[in-house]
Amino acid sequence: MLAALWAAPGPLVPAEVQAAVGADLAYTTVMTILVRLHDKGVIERAKVGRAYAYRPVVAETDVIAEQVRRLLDQGQDRAAVLQGLFEGLAPDDEDVLRSLLAKATSARRNRTKGR
């Protein structure tokens, strides 16, 4: 559901979400999931005619990053889990990761100096 909302250029009504995720899901199932996501604060809704239109209020990248953190926390050997992740990266991803790690390290050092 969230993937359909993230991919959409604007808010979607349940029928549009159902069409985006495939007709295999019943309309009532789509509605139930949308209501639960709304109750969790992941999406918001606005009245459009007789229906609600839904849009995400959390970024896809934030949700995926949180999922990765939870997976790391579940592993018995955090270093081994990270190693498995890194070994599966494409060379371009490795370069991006190195750059991001360097920036994060620099930002941490700068915050520490400012205290």
**Residue pLDDT, tens place only, 49-106:** 999 999 999 999 998 999 989 988 998 998 998 888 888 888 899 889 889 999 999 9
CA angle 108, 109, 111 (to 5 degrees): 65
Mean pLDDT across 10-37: 93
Compute φ and ψ for 10, nearest 5 degrees. Answer: -160, -175
Q: 27-39 and 14-21 helices cross at what angle (nearest 10)?
A: 110
pTM: 0.69
What are the tens digits of pLDDT across the range 31-49? 999 999 999 999 999 999 9
E-state strands within the chain: 43-48, 51-56
Residue-level pLDDT at 91: 87
User: Which pLDDT does position 86 carry in this prediction?
Assistant: 85
